[in-house]
Amino acid sequence: MMTTSEKIEVFTEPILDNSIVSLQEHTYKPYGSPKFQNSDEIRIPVHFQDIILDISESYIYIEGTFETTDATKKCYLSNNSLAFLFDEIRYEMGGEKVAAVRKPGITTALKTMVSFGTAHTKPLLTCGWGLNEKKQDILDLSSNIFSGKLPLKYLMGFAEDYTKGIFNVKQELIIIIARTFSNCYIGEVEANIKINKIEWKIRHIIPEDRQKLKILSRINKGSNSANIHMTFRTWDLYELPALRETSSDVWAIRTSTSLEKPRYIIIGFQDNNNSENFKNNATQFTSANVSDIRVYLNSTVFPYERWNLDFTKKLYAAAYYNYENFQRSYYGREFNDPMMHFGEYTKNPVFLVDCVHQTENVKSSTVDVKIEFQTRDSKFPKDTKVYALIIHDSIINYNILNGSVSNQSVF
């Protein structure tokens, strides 16, 4: 916003940004001639190392066909269906793993539900988010062909947070196709899904000469001057197959000296019948009538006070506030735009625990991560699965001179 004093600076010279002379999208195809069968590993290498690549704005383009076994029965592509086509997606630099997403369908569902709101509903449709029986925007009903894209920043924290160009290093995208496509559609009968095309679309950045010389002069100063520290937040998904049928349970997720500092934990409860079952929505979560969720990082507990929830009486304001406030805390947005308003939250709740502010002993020692659950009922429902998406800090050291890449933990 222009200040009052700036209004009288009428002789200020205009600033034109001509630092980039070309920004064109290029297509990278899988190695070999893959058939895109279930459980296949697809590798898409980038051979050009002397070109600056805009990885953060890159995306996976997908084409395929969707045909039901009985046209008279109800059957349609499900919400987030494109992400459910895969079991794992991994991005590597210099032969080192930089980012990986396991169970992309569940991971992106949890992250999307807290990150995006009503203003993002139309752009998210191209990712397959928002599909239902009456909304099949990515599917042509006459030819049964579907197409869409999965931006890397939709799939992994590295691409969302690190937005600078990358070059002079070998890069590769590894994609594991799902062993079953039963989470990709909902229907009364089975359907056949076939993937026909997977491509990686990346923009090439060509700077103008002065910017190019500036980069080269820095590199020519030697290896130490060519070091780049890429900071970002990693998304790690953990899964508890079933809560015990008791009124409380404790899940010891992980104890490790290498676990990077947890920032946020997104938690979703799900009926086991929703998993790999084409008759149910795989992005549908339940409250399990939970009354409290507490995260322990060593001896430090989050949140400090108990929530004392009761979903049967709409007493879930504490959980909803944390869910709603994620956008302000994580992205620094001035205004929150939650995907669900307060009344809708009970229909598909996910729980957010903010662990950003921690004491020094949590940052510097072995981190023991545990989650405690309590329910209002006498016991948790049978076969209640729990997903926990832990978002934590990461640093990758990357040398632009020799292309070497190394991981560095942050506490």
Q: Where are the domains of the chain?
A: 21-226, 230-394
pTM for the model: 0.92
Name residue 137's amino acid: D
Task: Say which CATH topology domain 21-226 has.
Answer: Adenovirus Type 2 Hexon; domain 4 (2.70.9)
Return the pLDDT at 359.
Answer: 72
Residue 7: per-residue pLDDT: 80
Selection from 387, 111, 411, 370 nearest residue 259 by Cα? 411
How far apart CA 330 and CA 121 sit, in angstroms, is: 20
Contact 192, 55 (CB under 8 A): no
CA separation for the pair 159, 130 (Å, rounded): 22
Q: What is the pLDDT of residue 262?
A: 86
Token code pair at residue 206: 């060509």
Which of 148, 173, 147 is closest to 159 using CA atoms?
Answer: 173
Q: What is the pLDDT along the chain (411 residues), one digit of tens a residue?
A: 667 777 888 788 777 788 888 899 999 999 988 899 999 999 999 987 789 999 999 999 999 999 999 989 999 999 999 999 999 999 999 999 999 999 999 999 999 999 999 889 899 999 999 999 999 999 999 999 999 999 999 999 999 999 999 998 999 999 999 999 999 999 999 999 999 999 999 999 999 988 888 888 888 888 788 899 999 999 999 999 999 999 999 999 976 654 577 899 999 999 877 667 888 999 999 999 999 999 999 888 999 999 999 999 999 999 999 999 999 999 999 889 999 999 999 999 999 999 988 876 655 567 889 999 999 999 999 999 999 999 999 999 999 888 889 876 543
Q: What integer pLDDT is reported at residue 410 of this predicted model?
A: 46
Tens of pLDDT, residues 302-347: 999 999 999 999 999 999 999 999 999 999 998 899 999 999 999 9
65 has which bridge partners? 145, 194
Mean pLDDT, the chain, rounded, equals: 91
Q: What fold characterizes domain 230-394?
A: Jelly Rolls (2.60.120)
Cβ–Cβ under 8 Å, residues 80 and 128: yes
- 270 close to 385: Cβ distance less than 8 angstroms: yes
- Closest-CA residue to 109 (of 129, 137, 88, 136): 129
